[in-house]
Structure 1
Amino acid sequence: MTVALVLTVGTLVWLALADEDGSGDPAGSDCATAAATVADLSPVQTRNARTITTVARERGLDRSAAEIAVATSLAETGLINFANDGTSDLSAAEIGRPLSPLEREVARRSLAYPHDEVGNNLDSIGLFQQRPTTGWGAPDKLIVPQAASGLFYDHLERIPGWSAGVPWQVAQQVQSSPSRDGGIYEQSYARAVVVVGALWAEPLCPAA
Structure 2
Amino acid sequence: MNTIFRKSVLGVAGLAFAGGVFAGPVAAHADVTPVRGTAVAVQADKPDTSKLIPHGVQGAQSRIDLDDEQVASAKAIIAATKKAGMDERAAVVAIATSLQESKLENLGHLGDRNDHDSQGLFQQRPSSGWGTVEQITDPEYSTLAFLKGLKQVDGWQDMPLTEAAQTVQVSAYPDHYAQWEQQAADLVAQYWNS
TM bucket by the smaller chain? 0.5 to 0.7
Partner residue of 2:121? 127
1:136 and 2:138 matched: no
The structure showing larger relative contact order (alpha-carbon pairs under 8 Å, at least 6 residues apart) is 2
Unmatched tracts of structure 2, length 5 or more? 1-27, 33-63
**What code does the residue aligned with 2:127 have?**
T
Pick from 170, 190, 194 the counterpart of residue 198 of structure 1: 190
User: Which residues in structure 2 correspond to 1:1-208 (within 5 Å)?
Assistant: 23=31, 40-85=65-110, 87-88=111-112, 120-179=114-173, 182-202=174-194
Deviations 1:3-31 (A, max 9, x none): xxxxxxxxxxxxxxxxx99649xxxxxxx
RMSD of aligned residue pairs (Cα, Å): 2.0
* Aligned mates of 1:139, 1:70 — CA distance in 2: 20
Unmatched tracts of structure 1, length 5 or more? 1-19, 25-38, 89-118, 203-208
Deviations 1:103-156 (A, max 9, x none): xxxxxxxxxxxxxxxx62220010000001112111111010111001000100
TM-score normalised by length of structure 2: 0.65
1:40 is displaced (CA, Å) by 3.0
Q: More helix per residue: 1 or 2?
A: 2
TM-score normalised by length of structure 1: 0.61
* Aligned mates of 1:184, 1:22 — CA distance in 2: 39
Count of aligned pairs between the two proteins: 136
* Aligned mates of 1:120, 1:21 — CA distance in 2: 46
Q: More strand per residue: 1 or 2?
A: 1
* Aligned mates of 1:64, 1:49 — CA distance in 2: 14
1:201 is displaced (CA, Å) by 2.3
* Aligned mates of 2:117, 2:147 — CA distance in 1: 21
Partner residue of 1:104? none
The change in CA–CA distance for 1:122 and 1:23 in structure 2 (over 3 A counts) is same
Q: Mark the structure with the bigger radius of gyration.
A: 2
The change in CA–CA distance for 1:133 and 1:23 in structure 2 (over 3 A counts) is same
* Aligned mates of 1:60, 1:157 — CA distance in 2: 11
Consecutive aligned runs of 4 or more in structure 1 exceeding 2 Å deviation: 20-24
